[in-house]
Amino acid sequence: MLDAIAGIGLDRGTGGYRRYAWTDADMELREWFVAEAGARGMDVVEDGNGNQLAWWGSGGDALLLGSHLDSVPDGGAFDGPLGVTSSFAALDRLRAGGVTRTRPIVVANFADEEGARFGIACAGSQLATGALTPDRALALKDRDGLTMAEALSARGRDPQALGRSDWLDDVGAFVELHVEQGRHLVHTGDAVGVATAIWPHGRWRLDFRGAADHAGATRMEDRHDPMSAYAATVLAARRLATDADARATFGRLEVAPGGTNAIPSRVRAWLDARAETEDELERLVDGIVDAAREAATADATEVEPVAESVSPAVTFDVPLRDRLATLLDAPVLPTGAGHDAGVLSPHLPTAMLFVRNPTGVSHSPAEHADAADCEAGVDALARVVETLAT
Ligand SMILES: [Zn+2]
């Protein structure tokens, strides 16, 4: 199945995937999902938020599986798709063995998990639970200035249909399999692990404002160059996150007016920050903003921080986690990455399985999982489904 979608949204230059919400690549993946479900006799329902759910059986207390098919810019082949394909493969294995299902089983493809286009991660699941309001989502804009409402309309979806999804009431548990984004499993020597928690994390936009001027005619001491404060902030973020054993990343930048021979008038930078606890995260971001303000003041420029999305700490359902760890004889580990499972976990018992990633690299074309480990992931998920739903 991974081979079948390997060409979709692939950038031949970088070798990475660009599968953003509601783009051609996303639409092709959605069609693939419908076809795979159909081939298994599963009924696909797309909720008002674009989440696709393939049902085997109907009714309440369903066991939900799946993950997402979209990607970050130049993402890898496994982050998301491994969970969706493994879910179908696990069901194939159980059905070939002739098991009797005791509750409905659903495979999901959650919409816009990475937030690569509109800036808010897990938009599909957050809309489904009500964590993200339709008004806020519809007004989000992509880099071309297109709103989510316009993007939905362009694909024949009704923007007015966004909002809390009824299927949540029919789901009794969610198990998301995902490639590990880190190297815990390399260190423990296991192919599969069970998640304990997701670190609190968020995205902040920092607008550094100064005065545009000529790169040649303006003396260094006369400049109000916001790039300097930005640069100091990047270094401070690195130092503060290292000291706190947390994470801080500036991975996206817009410079205005954007001329090689012009001092910028504005540098807009996005900070992704994560830490083990919410207090530590708050301290980290406060420290970075303080450093930004201090650097800006020194250059007589300004900086304004805006929190775009902040996700609280998630501790997965402990009885379910322990049950799966015992069943699979698998280690438990935390993660610094956000997932739809984290969004759903306040609403129902939720667990995650991680599949070993030899380099730990993710959100990059270098992301990898060995075929044998992917098979082990399918085995593990099949055993979980067998235990919870047959
Ligand atoms: Zn993912």
pLDDT at 126 over 90: yes
For strands 105-110 and 62-68, give the pairing. Answer: parallel
Residue 81 Cα to ligand 1 midpoint, Å, equals: 8
With the C-alpha atoms ordered 359, 362, 365, 371, is the resulting torsion angle positive or negative?
positive
| Contact between residue 232 and residue 368 where contact means Cβ atoms under 8 Å apart | no
Residue 198 Cα to ligand 1 midpoint, Å, equals: 12
pLDDT for 129 equals: 97
pLDDT for 379 equals: 97
In angstroms, the CA 172 to CA 62 distance is 5
| Contact between residue 87 and residue 375 where contact means Cβ atoms under 8 Å apart | no
- pLDDT class of 369 with cuts at 50, 70, 90: very high
Residue 79 Cα to ligand 1 midpoint, Å, equals: 4
Residue 176 Cα to ligand 1 midpoint, Å, equals: 10
Residue 364 Cα to ligand 1 midpoint, Å, equals: 12
Q: What share of the chain is helix, strand, coil (3-state, %, to 5)?
A: 35, 25, 40
| Contact between residue 351 and residue 321 where contact means Cβ atoms under 8 Å apart | yes
Residue 305 Cα to ligand 1 midpoint, Å, equals: 27
- Segment 230-234 long-range contacts (CB within 8 Å, at least 24 positions apart): 230/206, 230/267, 230/269, 230/292, 232/291, 232/292, 232/295, 233/206, 233/208, 233/269, 233/288, 233/291, 233/292, 233/295, 233/303, 234/269
pLDDT for 316 equals: 94
pLDDT digits (tens, 9 = 90+) for 213-239: 999 999 999 999 999 999 999 999 999
Residue 332 Cα to ligand 1 midpoint, Å, equals: 18
Mean pLDDT of the chain: 96
Q: Cα-flanking dihedrals φ and ψ of residue 258, to 5°?
A: 90, 35
**Residues contacting residue 255 through CB under 8 Å, at least 6 positions apart:** 227, 264, 266, 267, 268
Residue 367 Cα to ligand 1 midpoint, Å, equals: 12
Q: Cα-flanking dihedrals φ and ψ of residue 265, to 5°?
A: -90, -30
In angstroms, the CA 35 to CA 239 distance is 49
Q: Which amino acid is at 321?
A: R
| Contact between residue 91 and residue 105 where contact means Cβ atoms under 8 Å apart | yes
Residue 122 Cα to ligand 1 midpoint, Å, equals: 9
pLDDT for 309 equals: 86
Stretch 238-255: mean pLDDT: 97
pLDDT for 337 equals: 87
- pLDDT class of 322 with cuts at 50, 70, 90: very high
Query: For the whole model, what pTM was predicted?
Result: 0.87
The answer, yes or no, to whether the previous bond of 257 is cis (omega within 30 of 0) is: yes
pLDDT digits (tens, 9 = 90+) for 370-384: 999 999 999 999 999
pLDDT for 335 equals: 86
Residue 29 Cα to ligand 1 midpoint, Å, equals: 15
DSSP-based three-state secondary structure for 227: helix
pLDDT digits (tens, 9 = 90+) for 274-310: 999 999 999 999 999 999 999 999 999 999 999 998 8
Mark the residues whose beta carbon lies below 5 A from ion ligand 1. 79-80
pLDDT for 296 equals: 97
